[in-house]
Each structure stands twice: as structure tokens, then as C-alpha cells.
Amino acid sequence: MEHKNIYWNMYADVWAYHQKYINSLQDNDKFWHKLLEDGRAVARKYNNSCFINNLVVNEIAEFKDVYEKKYKHDMPL
């Protein structure tokens, strides 16, 4: 049962990370530094397990894709 709770907590923390940033992506280095540092903090919370690292990396890739559509290609979200 404990193992199941760890996965639930990982997903919940990545979801909170997603919610924190997805609608406020910005075109500046300070913002992206903070976004990446927060992602590292989520991964550290779970001892940088392969599973959490993959979740965080995929979330960062999603932020990048959304950002590029919004800022680089002038495409509405």
C-alpha cells in the first residue's frame, strides 16, 4: 500500500508543478531558471528516482512546447 501512495504523491506533486506554471509561461531567463529549479526540487523530494525524473522531464518538455507555440510561433493556445 505504501508503494501505491508514493506514486500517487509523485503524480500529485508533478500536477501541482504543472498547475503552477502552465498558464504563466514567460519569455525571460529568470522565469525559466525558477521553473527548472522547482522541477529539480520535485525530483529531489523522491531521491531523483528514474520514475520521478521522467515525469519532471516530460513536464518540462510540455512547458517548452506550449511556450514555443505561444511565443515563438504566435499561435493561440
Global pTM?
0.86
For the chain, the 3-state helix, strand and coil shares in percent, each to the nearest 5, are: 80, 0, 20
pLDDT band (50, 70, 90) for residue 1: very low
Q: Is the pLDDT of residue 46 over 70?
A: yes
pLDDT band (50, 70, 90) for residue 70: confident
Q: Is the pLDDT of residue 3 over 80?
A: no
Query: What DSSP character marks residue 46?
Result: T
pLDDT band (50, 70, 90) for residue 76: low
| pLDDT value of position 4 | 79
Q: Which helix (H) or strand (E) holds 27?
A: none
